[in-house]
């Protein structure tokens, strides 16, 4: 019996060793955001300075910034399994009153190693609005935009963003810099009472739903969630894998290089049947099942307290806690609730939806955001 107990303990320790991750003195979280490798808070914690995360606590509430806090790029979520970073991007605005122009802002974003995800939409709100953006893609500059017109508030359809009160366009692939331009045709004349401003912004698809009251009340919304794509370095899988010491996708980590990725750099993915952070180490999806089995065998051998049928019941009900290990698809403003064999995403108070990135997400009745400083570059005028 003692021999069997030692085998069980040794096996459990061996399985637990797979979970070893970053250096122990590295920050693992900042506010509500988990900091996962290749991102990190300093030398020895990140893969390179391109993945620096600065946790600013000067306001009393920890705020994670991408790069230095002076960048003003606030991180709201990050994913290693999808190679995505969610940031809060400023909203452009162009406002008027009965006397004429009453203030404007035109944010711009410049990225060194990341690209703006095609999972975003470029959205404009207003009844006297034309909005477009100029974007850098490689060495070239491209641009697109949309026009939104309406004669009265009564002509607006909630939930529709087809050009009457709200318009949207898809985001081209490979953009590393954007500059938003926003203006009106008639200075919002004859509509100041229900639509004094035009707005334009990039937003993650599923994170914004247009309502007619946005024409009047959207001014309090300063930022919207926007997705960035990332990869490691500039080399493809074939070239990067030759630099064995620096290559992050390793067989011993149960990860592989994503051959289907066609962007700059390379990405790691867990092998089929494994889950976790492919840049650190992937665990077998059977991990929880085996751990439960060994645990109950250990308990039974030591205490003789569990009959075989109860051990089998626990064995077959063993479940991977996606919420605990972070391998879920809940948006950052929802709470993950583990269920046997699955999980649910529950939107927090003041939000509604299914809480999932691949679903309706969580949409606020009146979107509110942290009061932070200005973005990388933002022009403001009156």
pLDDT given at position 237? 95
3-state secondary structure of 297: helix
Instruction: Name the residue with higher pLDDT: 358 or 201.
Output: 201
Beta partners for 89? 224
- Smallest Cα–Cα separation from 254: which of 84, 19, 9, 7? 19
In whole angstroms, what is the distance from residue 2 CA to residue 4 CA?
5
- Smallest Cα–Cα separation from 133: which of 167, 90, 181? 181
Neighbours of 331 (CB within 10 A): 28
In whole angstroms, what is the distance from residue 146 CA to residue 72 CA?
27
Q: Exposure of 107 by Cβ count < 10 A (0-12 exposed, 13-18 middle, 19+ buried)? A: buried
Query: Angle formed by the axes of helices 308-316 and 287-303, to 10°?
Result: 160
CA angle 22, 33, 263 (to 5 degrees): 75
User: pLDDT tens across 336-359, in order?
Assistant: 887 755 788 888 877 788 888 877
Q: Can you give the C-alpha Rg of the chain in angstroms?
A: 25
- Smallest Cα–Cα separation from 261: which of 82, 5, 68, 7? 82
User: pLDDT tens across 132-183, in order?
Assistant: 999 998 888 999 999 999 987 777 889 999 999 999 999 999 999 999 999 9
Mean pLDDT of 292-308: 54
pLDDT given at position 24? 58
């Amino acid at each position: 019996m003692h021999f069997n107990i030692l085998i069980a303990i040794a096996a459990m320790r061996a399985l637990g060793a797979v979970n070893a991750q970053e250096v122990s003195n590295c920050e693992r979280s900042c506010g509500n955001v988990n900091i996962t490798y290749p991102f990190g808070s300093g030398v020895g914690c990140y893969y390179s300075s391109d993945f620096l995360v600065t946790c600013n606590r000067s306001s009393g509430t920890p705020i994670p910034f991408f790069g230095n806090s002076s960048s003003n790029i606030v991180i709201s979520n990050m994913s290693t399994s999808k190679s995505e970073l969610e940031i809060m991007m400023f909203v452009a605005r162009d406002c008027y009153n009965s006397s004429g122009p009453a203030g404007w802002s035109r944010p711009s974003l410049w990225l060194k190693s990341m690209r703006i995800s095609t999972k975003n939409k470029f959205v404009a709100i207003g009844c006297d609005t034309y909005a477009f953006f100029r974007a850098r893609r490689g060495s070239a500059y491209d641009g697109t935009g949309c026009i939104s017109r309406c004669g009265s508030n009564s002509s607006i359809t909630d939930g529709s963003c087809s050009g009457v009160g709200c318009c949207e366009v898809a985001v081209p692939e490979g953009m590393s810099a954007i500059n938003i331009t926003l203006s009106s045709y008639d200075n919002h004349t004859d509509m100041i009472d229900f639509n004094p401003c035009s707005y334009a912004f990039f937003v993650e698809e599923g994170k914004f739903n247009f309502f007619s009251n946005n024409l009047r009340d959207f001014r309090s919304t300063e930022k919207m969630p926007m997705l960035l794509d990332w990869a490691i370095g500039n080399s493809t899988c074939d070239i990067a894998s030759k630099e064995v010491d620096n290559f992050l996708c390793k067989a011993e980590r149960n990860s592989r290089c994503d051959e289907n990725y066609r962007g700059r750099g390379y990405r790691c993915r867990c092998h089929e049947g494994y889950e976790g952070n492919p840049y650190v180490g992937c665990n077998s999806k059977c991990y929880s099942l085996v751990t439960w089995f060994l645990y109950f065998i250990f308990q039974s051998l030591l205490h003789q307290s569990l009959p075989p049928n109860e051990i089998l019941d626990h064995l077959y009900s063993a479940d991977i806690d996606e919420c605990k290990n972070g391998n879920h698809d809940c948006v950052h403003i929802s709470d993950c609730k583990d269920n046997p064999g699955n999980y649910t995403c529950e939107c927090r108070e003041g939000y509604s939806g299914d809480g999932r990135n691949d679903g309706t997400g969580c949409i606020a009745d009146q979107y509110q955001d942290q009061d932070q400083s200005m973005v990388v570059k933002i022009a403001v005028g009156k």
